[in-house]
Amino acid sequence: MSPSITPARVYYSAVALRLVLLFYGLVQDAYSPMKYTDIDYFVFTDAARYVSQGRSPYERETYRYTPLLAWLLIPTSWPSPLWFSFGKVLFAVSDIVAGWLIVRILQSPSGAAMSTERALKYASIWLLNPMVATISTRGSSEGLLGVMVVALLWAVTCRRVGLAGVLLGLAVHFKIYPFIYGPSIIWYLDSPNPSDPAEKRSSSPETSSWTTRSMKDVLFTFLNRSRITLCLSSLATFSALNLLMYVIYSQPFLEHTFLYHLTRIDHRHNFSPYNTLLHLSSAMPDRVSGLRLESLAFVPQLALSAVLIPLALAKKDLAGTMLAQTFAFVAFNKVCTSQ
């Protein structure tokens, strides 16, 4: 291993980068009219303060997230001013854990089977990326979701299917869009092991001619143990979390966490291909009849990211497929912000 690229140096550098940005943010917030802290962070911390007082996080206007996020950030409501940055530290730590998991994935035989040095070089694109570090230290919660998705990929490549299902259910509860990875993982979980180079794809029962197999045989072949475990564990986790939140917070939980996003129109700071049409739709709502654009926009987005890409790529390269899915989902999303 090159003396300049060691795990200690990469991880210490990643921590140092985030510490510098955290302290820089404190200075900029104190002395500059243009604040370093993301406006959404104030939404999160206000919601956390409401929760600490026994109130609903949805009393905070524009809080559109799971109550889990507000629960995690309750320490930001504690008296000392330093606790206000607890969430930023949590998000930054999530970044580093995600980077560590990236190294593990790249080193694993079912991943890319890279050497430690080479895996660290690739992981450094994430760990030492100033944009990634800036987003988390400004107070964006994407670091939490990022570590969930990377952990999901790690669990699948290590064939820890039950854990993968729990992570998938948690990630979808936390933010809706990770459900698009479900079809890719299900398609990837072939029998006995899709990462085994000795396995011949062409001889897989699923790729055999349907003319020589009955539909029943094909169905039973598809429904292997791994796929059933993934579906049941993810559904159980997602359902349990949603039921718990609904029991505690009732209809506001459903409205703000899920239903709001189905009809959301945001023509500000929006770089979506639908931006102009959404702007006109919001400006002249009385002239819009029939199916509205904000409902139809999901069709090409989901057809590409949740169906076509998984079918075409998932069995060849799961990580690459998830990247392509994410890119397609964001590119065709009706709300695409700078983050």
Identity (one letter) of the amino acid at 323? Answer: L
Check residue 143 and give its pLDDT.
Answer: 92
Tokens of residue 266, six digits:
């945001």
pLDDT at residue 116 tops 70 = yes
Dihedral angle, C-alpha 131, 132, 133, 135, nearest 10 °: 80
Q: Is the dihedral of CA 281, 283, 289, 290 positive or negative?
A: positive
pLDDT band at 212 (very low <50, low <70, confident <90, very high): low
Check residue 198 and give its pLDDT.
Answer: 43
Quick check: 172 and 179 in contact, CB under 8 A?
A: yes
Total length of the chain:
339
Tokens of residue 218, six digits:
């094909």
Q: Is the dihedral of CA 262, 267, 268, 274 positive or negative?
A: positive
pLDDT band at 80 (very low <50, low <70, confident <90, very high): confident
Q: What is the pTM of this model?
A: 0.86
pLDDT at residue 191 tops 60 = no
Q: What is the residue whose two structure tokens read 């990630």?
A: 171
Give the mean pLDDT of 5-28: 95
Check residue 54 and give its pLDDT.
Answer: 94
Quick check: 127 and 150 in contact, CB under 8 A?
A: no
Higher-scoring residue by pLDDT: 72, 212: 72
Identity (one letter) of the amino acid at 97? Answer: V
Give the mean pLDDT of 150-163: 96
Check residue 220 and give its pLDDT.
Answer: 73
Give the mean pLDDT of 10-21: 97
pLDDT band at 202 (very low <50, low <70, confident <90, very high): very low
pLDDT at residue 203 tops 70 = no
CA distance 64 to 256: 5
Check residue 295 and give its pLDDT.
Answer: 65
